[in-house]
Amino acid sequence: SMAEKSFKYVIIGGGVAAGYAAREFAKQGVKPGELAIISKEAVAPYERPALSKAYLFPEGTARLPGFHVCVGSGGERLLPEWYTEKGISLILSTEIVKADLASKTLISAAGETFKYQILIIATGSTVIQLMDFGVKGADAKNIFYLREIDDADKLVEAIKAKKGGKAVIVGGGYIGLELSAALRINNIDVSMVYPEPWCMPRLFTAGIAAFYEGYYANKGIGIIKGTVAVGFGTNENGEVTDVKLKDGRVLEADIVVVGVGGRPLTTLFKGQVEEEKGGIKTDSFFKTSIPDVYAVGDVATFPLKLFNEIRRVEHVDHARKSAEQAVKAIFASEQGTSIDEYDYLPYFYSRAFDLSWQFYGDNVGETVLFGDNSPTSPTHKFGTYWIKDGKVVGVFLESGTPEENKAIAKVARVQPPVDSLEQLATEGLAFASKI
Ligand code: FAD
């Protein structure tokens, strides 16, 4: 039988949250041999957002080891050697296929057994696939999804092989918008297809989306809204050749990228731990319903104190901060002390072409658009406030300076009252700058 390995702390998953947790473990004085990170991926934790951005650019291309954590937040870059120096076991290319929380045992696909005293679940999300809906031809070659570095490498190969070709991007969310831009920059003829009336409908208002859709159109990207992909044509090599739309149109395609959403990877723990809102339910210290088991990052459904609600957040900033919170909580409880509850201000961002936006807070209530959201505006500087119960609860800003982004973050945190929406529209960014 295979050897059994035993650790005081085990993190399942080697993504963003795992990497930031490792740094916090080191800060807290973890001893050599105490911590293991078990990851399905073959590389040390890295800043996942790079995969849909500079990883795909023809110039200024990002490659590992350039973007290992924690460079995405201006921190130290943790190279594989760093883990060795700290005595942290990085167990890569190892998928856990069975987790038994009662006996504190994990089993890998290769049959290895891992025991732990304290477990941190950091398995992140997986992509929703068109095959899951039985879309015809969805298993054709050159239809790509993007979650891990292996996915990105396959896409990079296809971009090289299909120079000057055509791509169809299915989905108008983060992945759709970032991938359309990245492929366009690679001189590929790009069309986007999504069913909603405008892109990023979960966050963008019609006014925000109008800017991006116009900007993308000016870059030569075709945007087809109000319909979905219902099938794919293939050639004799099994490669995709076209995308059939529900409205009857057929789009030629050498490459298809699908970005239709994600799903938290909680299956290993089904029935063993309390779940809520699709994730693993935790308290403000990321403790789950099972003693000695924590969940962080995309999989955690946690109390969002600012909104007095429990939520799951699938963004990198929360992955980093929740990981740090959990590790601090673990050490505090070992020392019989306590730490403050997690008090998270939601922060999302994206970048494409020469655009860059940030959002803080909650996108609920009435909205006020400010600045010039014309797609041909020379500064691209515009934004939106969300107002609920007479208070500003969320702010979006495109092309903000670092100071302006700090100011909008403060507004979302402070939730200042507003007298009139007209005044807010007139003052625009100046309202944020004086908070
Ligand atoms: P992940 O970083 O996904 O890490 C999970 C890890 O667990 C992976 O390494 C996975 O292989 C491993 N794993 C899963 N199951 C097992 C198992 N059974 N055994 C072993 N290992 C396992 N957010 C933003 O805020 N801004 C952005 O611009 C942005 N861009 C993004 C671009 C892309 C292409 C993607 C995919 C995501 C992006 N995100 C962005 C979201 C952000 O990256 C995630 O919210 C964040 O990575 C979550 O961190 P995590 O540690 O919870 O999960």
Q: Whose CA is nearest to atom 23 of ligand 1?
A: 315
CA geometry: angle at 16 spanning 63 and 85, to 5°? 80
Q: What's the 48 CA to ligand 1 centre distance in angstroms?
A: 6
pLDDT band at 239 (very low <50, low <70, confident <90, very high): very high
Q: Which two tokens stand for residue 5?
A: 């390995």
Q: What's the 351 CA to ligand 1 centre distance in angstroms?
A: 17
Lowest model confidence (mean pLDDT) among 131-140, 213-222, 332-341, 402-411: 131-140
Asked whether the beta carbons of 369 and 384 are under 8 A apart, the reply is yes
Q: Which of 11, 12, 16, 180 to mutate to test the pocket of ligand 1 (most atoms within 8 A of CB)?
A: 16
Q: Which atom of ligand 1 is nearest to the CA of 45?
A: 9
CA geometry: angle at 399 spanning 394 and 401, to 5°? 90
- The set of residues, in sequence order, having a beta carbon less than 8 Å from that of 349 and lying 6+ positions away, is 356, 357, 358, 359
How high is the mean pLDDT of the chain? 97
- The set of residues, in sequence order, having a beta carbon less than 8 Å from that of 169 and lying 6+ positions away, is 176, 179, 180, 183, 190, 191, 192, 193, 256, 257, 259
Q: What's the 330 CA to ligand 1 centre distance in angstroms?
A: 22
pLDDT at 2: 62
Q: Which atom of ligand 1 is nearest to the CA of 323?
A: 51
Q: Whose CA is nearest to atom 31 of ligand 1?
A: 49
Q: Which atom of ligand 1 is nearest to the CA of 298?
A: 52
**pLDDT tens profile 75-133:** 999 999 999 999 999 999 999 999 999 999 999 999 999 999 999 999 999 999 999 98
Q: Which of 48, 92, 106, 145 to mutate to test the pocket of ligand 1 (most atoms within 8 A of CB)?
A: 48
Would you say residue 186 has pLDDT above 90? yes
Would you say residue 400 has pLDDT above 70? yes
Q: Which CATH number fits domain 130-260: 2.40.50.140, 3.50.50.60, 3.40.50.2300, 3.40.640.10?
A: 3.50.50.60
pLDDT at 184: 98
Q: Which run of H or of E encompasses 109?
A: none
Q: What's the 425 CA to ligand 1 centre distance in angstroms?
A: 37
**CB-side neighbour CA atoms (13 Å) of 268:** 23
Would you say residue 19 has pLDDT above 60? yes
Mean pLDDT of 207-229: 98
Matching fold, domains 4-126+263-334 and 130-260 = yes
**pLDDT tens profile 33-42:** 999 999 999 9
Q: Whose CA is nearest to atom 25 of ligand 1?
A: 315
pLDDT at 3: 75
**pLDDT tens profile 409-433:** 999 999 999 999 999 999 999 999 9
Residues with CB under 6 A from ligand 1: 12-18, 38-41, 48-49, 51-52, 95-96, 122-125, 146-148, 174, 265, 268, 297-298, 314-317, 319, 348-350
Would you say residue 1 has pLDDT above 60? no
Mean pLDDT of 280-299: 98
Would you say domain 4-126+263-334 falls under CATH 3.50.50.60?
Answer: yes
pLDDT at 127: 96
Q: What's the 18 CA to ligand 1 centre distance in angstroms?
A: 10
Just give the CATH number of 354-433: 3.30.390.30
Q: List beta partners, residue 12.
A: 38, 121
Closest by Cα among 99, 100, 97, 91 to 111? 97
pLDDT band at 336 (very low <50, low <70, confident <90, very high): very high
pLDDT band at 349 (very low <50, low <70, confident <90, very high): very high
pLDDT at 274: 98
Would you say residue 330 has pLDDT above 70? yes
